[in-house]
Structures are given as structure tokens and as C-alpha cells.
């Protein structure tokens, strides 16, 4: 169990060094996929533009707002926990979790809509990238929601305090990874 002193060490960034190694590996993985997609897009501009018309920039924008809002509440939850305000911290984490669920529901609706239109993984290369990259992100958000659920319950029960919040910071770092990845994915698929 880490203490506050250890949490503020240069060698232990928020959440600890292990989660940051995971974050870097995940970012490299997503950047590889997004780079491959960008190369495809540059070589097949017409197909990419035509395929992009089947995506809803409105849904993508709403999901971006939802994730950023969830990230904000998670950050506030950690700050409240560090101040010993467990009740408020658990509420903030709950709001972040609800944002994650809202994202998954809206993304699930978008997936359903694509499938109803006959757009799947093998429709064309654009949608192969779309399904693989956004699907991998969907899995990350699902895991993050489960992490936030466990943290919410633990903070509410008092298992974490202002002197013991390392795991909550780690969960928050993972949540922010999901935010960051979506901020990279959204414009590349929906706007460019």
C-alpha cells in the first residue's frame, strides 16, 4: 500500500509507474493502428470519404463530450478523496462510471445502426479499421467502467482514504487513457 509521500515521488507518477508503462504500450498500439489507417486513407481518399458519410459526426461528438465529462468527474473524485471527502469522491466516481456506460450505450447503438445498414468488418478497408480500432477502444471503456464500479464501491465503503488513494489514482489514469485514445480516434474517423 502506497502512502501519500510515495504517491508524490517523481518515480511514482499518479497511479504508479506500472500503469504508465501500460498506458504507453496502449498508446503505441493505437497509434500503430491509426497510422496504418492514415496511410490507407491517403491512398484511398474517395473510398474513405464515401465510407465516412455512413458515420454520424453528431454521435461521435456526443460521445467525445461524454468521455471528457467522465474524465473531469474522475479527476474531481480523486481530488475529493485526497481531501478526505469520501462521500463526495464516491459520487464523482459514480458520475464518471455513468458517463462510461452512456458512452458504451451510444456506441452500441451506433454499432447496431451500422449492422442494420449491412456495414460490417468486411464491408471495405475503411470499416475494417473502424470496427477494429473503435471495437478495441470499446473493450477498454468496458474494462474502465468495471474498474470504476469497483473503485466506487470501495471508496463508498471507506476502503480508500486521503492517506490511501493509490489504486484510485491508478483507475483514474486508466480512465484518462480511454479519454485520450478516443480524442485521437474521433477526429480521424469522423471529421478528417
Of 141, 76, 78, 74, which is closest to residue 105 (Cα–Cα)?
141
Under a CB-based contact definition with an 8 Å cutoff, are residues 168 and 14 in contact?
no
Domains recognised in the chain with CATH numbers = 4-191 (1.20.120.80)
Q: What is the pLDDT of residues 151-170, one digit of tens each?
A: 999 999 989 888 888 889 98
User: With bands split at pLDDT 50, 70 and 90, how would you rate the model's confidence at 2?
Assistant: very low
Q: What is the pLDDT of residues 108-158, one digit of tens each?
A: 999 999 999 999 999 999 999 999 999 999 999 999 999 999 999 999 998
Whole-angstrom distance, CA of residue 18 vs CA of residue 73: 23
Element (H, E) at 135: helix 125-157
Under a CB-based contact definition with an 8 Å cutoff, are residues 135 and 120 in contact?
no
* Full-model pTM: 0.87
Amino acid at each position: 500500500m502506497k502512502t501519500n509521500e510515495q504517491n508524490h515521488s517523481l518515480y511514482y507518477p499518479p497511479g504508479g509507474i506500472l500503469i504508465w508503462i501500460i498506458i504507453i504500450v496502449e498508446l503505441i498500439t493505437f497509434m500503430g493502428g491509426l497510422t496504418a489507417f492514415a496511410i490507407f486513407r491517403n491512398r484511398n481518399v474517395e473510398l474513405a470519404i464515401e465510407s465516412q458519410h455512413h458515420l454520424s459526426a453528431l454521435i461521435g461528438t456526443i460521445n467525445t463530450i461524454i468521455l471528457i465529462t467522465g474524465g473531469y468527474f474522475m479527476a474531481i473524485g480523486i481530488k475529493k478523496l485526497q481531501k478526505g471527502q469520501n462521500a463526495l469522491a464516491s459520487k464523482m466516481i459514480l458520475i464518471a462510471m455513468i458517463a462510461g456506460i452512456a458512452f458504451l450505450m451510444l456506441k452500441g447503438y451506433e454499432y447496431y445502426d451500422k449492422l442494420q445498414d449491412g456495414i460490417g468488418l468486411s464491408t471495405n478497408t475503411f470499416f475494417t479499421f473502424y470496427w477494429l480500432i473503435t471495437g478495441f477502444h470499446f473493450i477498454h471503456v468496458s474494462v474502465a467502467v468495471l474498474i470504476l464500479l469497483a473503485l466506487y464501491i470501495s471508496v463508498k465503503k471507506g476502503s480508500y482514504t486521503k492517506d490511501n488513494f493509490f489504486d484510485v489514482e491508478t483507475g483514474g489514469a486508466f480512465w484518462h487513457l480511454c479519454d485520450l485514445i478516443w480524442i485521437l480516434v474521433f477526429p480521424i474517423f469522423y471529421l478528417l
